[in-house]
Amino acid sequence: MDKDKKKAVGPDRMIEVLVLVLMVFFIWLVISRIQQLLAFYTGDTFSMIWSAVVDYFLTYLWPIIKILSVVVGVLCLVGIYYNSKKLKEIEKTEETTFGKPETLSGEAELEVKNLRWENIQRLINSTNESDWRQAILEADIMLDELLTASGHHEGSIGDKLQSVEPSDFLSLQSAWDAHKIRNRIAHDGASFQLNDREAKGTIAQYEAVFKEFKVI
């Protein structure tokens, strides 16, 4: 326990003590000189006292203030250096104990996107029409996210596609054709008969868009 207390007393504590001592010493000098002046100039005018105070300040106190400023500045630099060193040591200790904070790398992010695409592939390869519909709806959500990430934030997917510059979107027509099929699924419901060839063709159009922008 005693050893821990000794370790806790570092340069920060020493700086605080030194600054406090210097401040007390400076205040004592000022008070003692003022007392001397008051005792000596009791019968004189205020202007004489003020002149003497100014002379004393410029002659004796101002050099001391400059010296104190340099000392305090040096101590502050020492404290900054010491604290930065201790912070690095703390960071190393935390990394050793808890490990480095994990960030989602580009490969990991792509893997997450691929998992969504793999699910769409699983649905489209199903024998159920309801799965095909779900695959197209999921792919259209990915298209919406892609357009938003590309800077098109306003309106529906159709509005976003209209705001796209064709020269920047080579597979724009594929996106439009696929999105039209999605709209028929969403708006017409069961009355829209979706066959296997049309469903897979629609997913292939989404795939062309996603490959152009390296989403998959």
Q: Dump pLDDT digits (tens) for 140-172.
A: 999 999 999 999 988 999 999 999 999 989 999
Rounded to an integer, the average pLDDT of 114-122 is 92
Q: How far apart (Å, rounded) are the C-alpha atoms in residues 53 and 5?
A: 45
| CB-based burial label for 135 (10 Å; 0-12, 13-18, 19+) | buried
Among the ranges given (26-40, 101-115, 188-202), the one the predictor scored with the smallest mean pLDDT: 101-115
Q: pLDDT per residue over 97-114, tens digit each?
A: 655 555 445 555 555 568
Instruction: Kindly report the pTM of this predicted structure.
Output: 0.51
pLDDT of amino acid 3: 45
Q: How far apart (Å, rounded) are the C-alpha atoms in residues 91 and 116?
A: 37
Q: pLDDT per residue over 55-108, tens digit each?
A: 777 777 778 777 877 888 788 888 788 888 788 888 777 666 655 555 445 555
pLDDT of amino acid 76: 80
- Give the pLDDT band of residue 11 (cuts 50, 70, 90): low
Among the ranges given (3-12, 122-131, 157-166, 181-190), the one the predictor scored with the smallest mean pLDDT: 3-12
pLDDT of amino acid 211: 94
| DSSP output for 87-145 | HHHHHHHHHHHH-PPP---HHHHHHHHHHHHHHHHHHHTSS-HHHHHHHHHHHHHHHHH
Phi and psi (nearest 5°) for 99? 85, 165
Rounded to an integer, the average pLDDT of 21-36 is 72
Distance of alpha carbon 51 from the chain centroid:
57
- Give the pLDDT band of residue 135 (cuts 50, 70, 90): very high
Unique residue bearing structure tokens 């708006």? 187
